Structures are given as structure tokens and as C-alpha cells.
Chains A and B, each alone.
Chain A
Amino acid sequence: MCCQGCRAAAEWIEQLGLGDYYELRTAPAPKPDAADAAHEAWQDTDSARHVIRELSADLRETLLLVEGVRCTACVWLIERSLGAMPGVMSVQVNAVARRARVIWQASRITLPQLLHALSRTGYRALPLDASGLDDLRRRESRDALKRLVVAGFGAMQAMMYATAIYLGAAESLDASTRDLLRWLGLLVATPVVLYSARPFFTGALRSLKARRVGMDVPVALAIAAVYAASLLEAVRGTGEVYFDSVSMFVFFLLTGRYLEMRARHHARDLTDALARLTPAFAERETPDGIFKRVGIHELRVGDRVRVPEGGIIPADGVLLTERCRVDEALLSGESAPVTKRRDDPVIAGSVLADGPVVLRVERVGADTALAGITALVGRAHAERPRLQVAGEHAAGRFVARVLTVTAVTAAVWAVFDPSRAFTAAVAVLVISCPCAFALAVPAALTRALGAMARRGVLVVKPDAIQALAECTHALFDKTGTLTEATLSLADVRTFDGVSHDGALRLAATLARQSRHPAARAIAAAHPAIDTADIREVMTHAGAGVSATIDGRVLRLGRSDFALAGKPLAREFEDAVLLADDRGPIAAFRMGERLRPETCAAIEALQAQGLTVLIASGDAPVKVAAIAARLSVGIWRGRMLPAEKLAWLTDLRAAGARVLAVGDGVNDAPVLAGADVAIALADGAELTQACSDIVLKGGRLDAIAAAREIAQRTLAIVRQNQRWALYYNFSAVPLAALGFVPPWLAALGMSLSSLAVILNALRIGRGDARPGRASRSPHPAAEPLAGPAT
């Protein structure tokens, strides 16, 4: 089953009597979920006020961010399970954005009941701030769509009337019919200019107020000029009208903007992970000394809050407890917990590794470091792609030049033949419209994003397309990236007659303190619930974990770390060792397998001329085995995250453009320093939020395909821009000399835009479904004989 939803759905079907084919199995009991207690707190009206919107006296609306939505079965399950509850009026689930919009009756159901229902089906839901971004965004996209369609309809109609005039001119159209058609053109073009084109006018006004000349100023000027000129001609009943051209002009420009906006919104959906990093509740101390659960927005500076072990720090503050360790991966990218002492600052969003602790709140809400990061990420996503901005600048400069040429044309004609000055000037303006320019980048980008998404490559930052096409080196993490994320314990060797089970129990107790794949494998190998007295747990990044268990100092990890420098037989150098101060207790070997796609993926990248590198924290022997298997010449083992980053920096300093692929939080620094960062979707959420591209389902082979698409996209953008430029170069002089009738101007404008769009459609065509085929069993799928840490 791919996810909770599929499992629950399958079980439902089973319950309905269709499950005779399945083995008889009992439905899982509802998880005794700690979150259930948290749900109750939403009952509190003060907390709820922020997440519930009152639609009417009884109707309430809530937006939920639902974790674990992966496929359509999830959507169906959520809609069914919530929709079946009495009092729920409507449920809309967006699988891509992982959001559910629920409308319910306050008199018949409460928010905690809704959350309970969801958690029973296996989804954790977090109510989002009702007054949040989402509404703004919904309004933006609805507005854009309406304007686009009004422009589209207007352009079609205006074109029809204009065609009648153009054809009528060749035959004999009587003057009154011609005038009627012109007024009709005015009628349909007016809403297009006044309603659809309004963003250009407001944008132009805004940039004029800021004393800048952006793309909007010349565009707005051109629209206004052509419309005003046509209006004047319609009133005078002489000359030519260009209502068709101006409507089409607006329509094409809006199409470009709409495509660009959709790509931007989609990118933001992917990075909502950050919204989940702060908890919704905190335990605040009341004046009489007991801790009471309150909504996080109720915290004030100076409050004392308690955080349980494993909890998330709710606000920036100062530690009041003697000592604790917090995981500040959020800020530092380092997964190893940091030790904090009394009066040290702690930041919101970091995870408490041991506890509980009490802290005094110093900064809340939007002032916290986390809110700053979230805002930064949000801003980065709201920014338009560099490619796009460069394209717009080119178009802006171009339009400014066109306006100059128009003015010159009008002036020159005014000297020689004043009667034709106006017509010629307007013809220049119309034929040289920057539609093709404005469409060149968004059309290509949209097409590329779609083509990549179909291959399981989700582009979070559209800038990555350019960087991906230009990169020269690919740096891979090994454990979890080239190989599968889960290891299994292959072999246990004990020293000095220690019992196999006893060693494993100790190792598993220690291993539970770490999230390293190797530690997880050891922890999973011993199911016992330990009651051992465990203190002073320390995780050492890239080395291992140490703790005092029942008064004995134990270390688990790389051999040099566990033994603290004592010598050992070479054969155990690459094993995970458990040791105390007297010497080694046991050696563990891990079996590790390459992902099925790895071989093909590396081969494809090398075939494209990329230098593939492997940087791993693992023992050199094992890295060498994998590198040899993948024919990768350059690799380094035993690297700490900081060393990896240093290597990457050296490469970049030497002129390489580096693509980094990783999965864990410990890869975050490397990813942050790379030209293109690719994270695996089954890796850490934060790593994904910081990356440029997220790979679904660990499909490494999609990278090479994505790179091809990216290169093609860049090539096509350049082609498009060049084409738009050539077209204008050849058309403008003719228009300036007065050789271009309005029908030819309209035709030229549409054809140039059409050519740009058709050209963009070539991206990602033909090879629509690779991947699937290469998923067939590959020799690399065999488990690697070599052990791993």
C-alpha cells in the first residue's frame, strides 16, 4: 500500500464484504495518539478563533493542512470520512497542496471532532490560520482567470468583427455596416481594456510612483495608445481601428502572466512543510504554578513555558532549566543536538532532544527566528524566476524602443504627409507588440515544469531549470541517496564472550537515541522495551552516539569514535562498533542495497558529460565498493557534513557548477551550498524545503531526463526570443513606411505569438514515459555484499 489512505480504503472495502480475497485481518485499533489530546485544545474558543472563519451564524470554515495525503485514495477517504459526519456541509481536498477545506455547522459538530475523525483514518491534520495566505492566493488566481477569459472572449469577438471589416474592404461593404462593425469592436474591446488590462495599468502606476520603469509602463502605454487611437478613429469614422489587435495583445500578455502565476503557486504548495515546524500549543505556567495548555498565539514575552521531551520549542526564549540538548537542524542544518545550559537562548522550531525543560519566552510569533526563515522562504518563492525577470526586462527595453520608433515614425510622417502620420504610427505600435516576448519564457517554463512533474521531478524553484541545464558536476550522498534509506543488520560479532543478545540490547538502547539509518537498523533488530537507566546521551555528527547506561559509559558508532583511538583488527574498521572504556563489546555489520535506479541514473548522467562524485560519511572501503560498482572515479569517504561542504566549495571555486543530491538533514548544508539542490521526497522535510528540486519516490534516473528537459527549455527560450526579435526587426520598418494594413498587423501579431507557444510545446515531447520502463529489475537491485555503517 502506498500510504495510509490506501490501507484504510482497502480495509473499508474489506468491511463492505468485498474483502473475501484478502486474508482475514483485524482492523487496526485507532492509534492511541498523543495528538488526540492536542485536538481537545482546539475546543478552546480563543485558540479556535484564529483558524475558524464564521461564514454565517452557524456555518464555520476551516482550512486543514493534512499530512500523509499522497494519492487519490487519500482524497476519497478524507472526503468520505469527514463528509459522512453529521454537521459537515462540504469537504474539498486538494491532493497536490495537501489541504482540506471543510465547512461545518457549529451547532452540530466541533473542530476537535473533525480532527479526531481524521486521525482515526490515519491522517494528522493541522488547522491553518484562517486569515492566511491561502485566501489571498485564491483571490489572486480567481481574478487572473476571470481577466484572462474576458480578454479571450473579447479578443475572439473583436477579431470576428474585424475580419468582417477586412474582408468587406476588398468587396464593397457599405459605410453604415462598416461603422456598425467598428462600434461593435469598440463595445467588446472596452471591457478587455478597462477590466482585463487593469493589472498592467495599476502596475504601471505603482512603478511610476516608485520612479521606476518596469515592464508594465511601456505595455500600459501601448495598450492605452492603441485603444485611444482606435476610439478616436471610430468616432471620426475615418482611418483604421485596431480593437482586435489591442484585445489580442492583452489576451496574450495575460496568458503569459497566468502561466507564470500557476507555476509560482505550485512551488509554494511544496514548501508548506515550514508551516508545520512550530507547534500549535504550548504549556504555559499559570500564576499558581501549574502548567496549562494554551494556543501558541496566546504566549506573551516573559511567559514561562514547559516543553516535553521530543517536543518542539514554541517560541524563542531563554533556558531556565540547568541543561538540555536541542536539535537546531532548522538553523544550522546540523542534525546533532546542541547542548544548552541555563540562560542560553533557544529558538522556536528546534526539537528538544531530552527534557522536559522550562524556558522564559523572549520573542513570539512573527518576531521569532523561525518566522524570519519562513518569511525568507516565502519571499524566495514569491520572487519570479530569474529567467522570467530577465525576459521581462528584455521585453520592457524592447517596448520602450518601440515607443521611440513610433514617435519617430509619427514625427517623420508629419513632415512628409501629415494625413498618414497617425495611421503609420499606430501600425508600428500594433505590429511590434511584445506578446511573443512576454510569452517566450512563461510558456517554455510552464511546459518544462509540467514535463518534469510527469517524471516525478518536482521543481520547487523555477530558477533551478537554468542551473540544472548548466551544471557540470553531480555530487551524491551515499547512504539513503544512492542506496536505499533503510539498512538491515547483517551480522553481529561479540568480543570477550559477551552474549549476543546482551550486546544487541545495549546497542539498541543506544541506537534509539539517533536517527541515523544504521542506528535505526540496530534499534529495529532488538524489539525489547528497555528500562535501563540512560543518561548523558550525546549524538556526535558523522561519528556515533554515546551515553551512560547503568553507570557504564558506552559509545556506538564508527570504530575510531567508539574505541576513542584504541587499536583494533583491520577487519572491523568499517563495522559499527559498540565499546566502553575497556574496549570493544560488539561489532555490527549492515547490509545495504543500491536503489534499483541508481546504476542507470549514474550512467545516464555520465553519458551527458557530467562528472559524478560521491561524498559519504561512510567508511572508505564501502564507498569504494559502491563507487567501483557505479564506475565513479572520484569519491571520498569518512566525510563530515562540513568537509563535504568544503569539498563542494572548492569545486565551485574551480569553476564547476555543482548539482548536489541528498536526503537527510545532514545533507542540508551541502544542498544549500550547491548550484542545484535535489532532495529525495522520502527524506527529511526540512531538506526538501531548502532544496530546489524534489524527487518523488527516489527516482534518481529522472535527474538525467530532467537535465535534458532543462537544456532543451533554455535552448527553446533563446530560440523564442531570437525569433521574436527577428520578426519585429523585419516588420517594424515596413509598418513605419506605411506598407502594413491593419489586418496584416493583427495576423503577424497572432502568428508570432502562436509560433512561440508551439515552439514551447516541443519541450518534453516524444519521450513522455521513460522511468517506468527502467524500473524493471536491474542487476544493481541485488543486495550489496559489502557491509555498511
Chain B
Amino acid sequence: MNILLLLIPLSLAFLAGAVWVFFWAVNHGQFDDLDTPGLLPLDDISRPEEPP
């Protein structure tokens, strides 16, 4: 059972990391608009590298 002493802190660290990453994403607007990005790949207009 001693392995628990390593695995549990490890899982908690992962958890804290995941929450931190998620908070960062939310605060940077990644979840503000869940509709538009989902539509973008559907349009089959070829995208020029640089618009004229």
C-alpha cells in the first residue's frame, strides 16, 4: 500500500494542473463562443494564406 503515498499526491497534482489549465482556457476566452468555431471547418471555401 506504500505505492499510494506516491500515487495519491501524483493524482492530486494532476488534478490541480487540470483545473489550472481549464481556468486559464476559460479566462482566455476559449469557451466564450462555442458555436462559431464548430461551424468554421464546415465551410468549404478555400482559405488563401494572405487576403489581398
**Pick from B4, B11, B23, B47: contact of A157, CB under 8 Å:** B11
Determine whether the beta carbon of A92 is less than 8 Å from that of B45. Answer: no
CB neighbours (8 Å) of B43 from chain A are: 71-73, 76
CB contact under 8 A between A145 and B31, given known A72-B36, A94-B36: yes
Check: A9 CB closer than 8 A to any chain B CB.
Answer: yes
CB contact under 8 A between A80 and B51, given known A145-B31, A149-B19, A153-B19: yes
Check: A95 CB closer than 8 A to any chain B CB.
Answer: yes
**Who on chain A is nearest to B9 by CB?**
A184
In the bound complex, CA of A458 to CA of B43 (Å): 22
Chain A interface mostly: helix
**Pick from A75, A81, A92, A150: contact of B40, CB under 8 Å:** A75
Determine whether the beta carbon of B39 is less than 8 Å from that of A72. Answer: yes
Q: Within residues 1 to 52 of chain B, which ones have a CB less than 8 A from any CB in chain A?
A: 1, 4, 8, 11-12, 15, 18-19, 22-23, 26-27, 29, 31-33, 35-36, 39-40, 42-43, 45-48, 50-52
CB neighbours (8 Å) of A95 from chain B are: 35-36, 39
CB neighbours (8 Å) of B22 from chain A are: 146, 149
Determine whether the beta carbon of A15 is less than 8 Å from that of B47. Answer: no
CB contact under 8 A between A142 and B31, given known A71-B43, A75-B40, A177-B1: yes
CB neighbours (8 Å) of B1 from chain A are: 174, 177
Determine whether the beta carbon of B48 is less than 8 Å from that of A16. Answer: yes
**Pick from A12, A71, A145: contact of B26, CB under 8 Å:** A145
CB neighbours (8 Å) of A93 from chain B are: 36
CB neighbours (8 Å) of A97 from chain B are: 33
**Size of the chain A interface, CB-CB below 8 angstroms:** 36
Determine whether the beta carbon of B36 is less than 8 Å from that of A16. Answer: no
**Pick from B15, B29, B50: contact of A153, CB under 8 Å:** B15
Check: A13 CB closer than 8 A to any chain B CB.
Answer: yes
In the bound complex, CA of A150 to CA of B18 (Å): 10
CB contact under 8 A between A94 and B33, given known A71-B43, A72-B39, A76-B40: yes
CB neighbours (8 Å) of A16 from chain B are: 48, 52
In the bound complex, CA of A153 to CA of B22 (Å): 11
Instruction: Give chain A's interface residues, CB within 8 Å of chain B.
Output: 9, 12-13, 15-16, 18, 71-73, 75-76, 80-81, 84, 92-97, 138, 141-142, 145-146, 149-150, 153, 157, 160, 174, 177, 180, 184, 187-188
A-B contact pairs, 14 of them (CB 8 A): A12-B52, A18-B46, A75-B36, A76-B45, A84-B50, A92-B29, A92-B33, A95-B36, A95-B39, A142-B27, A150-B19, A157-B11, A180-B8, A188-B12
8 closest cross-chain pairs (CB), A and B: A72-B43, A96-B35, A72-B39, A94-B33, A80-B51, A95-B36, A142-B26, A149-B22
For the A-B complex with A94-B32, A142-B32, A184-B8 known, give 13 more contacts whose Cβ atoms are closer than 8 Å.
A12-B48, A15-B52, A16-B48, A75-B39, A75-B40, A84-B50, A94-B33, A95-B35, A138-B32, A141-B31, A142-B27, A146-B23, A180-B8
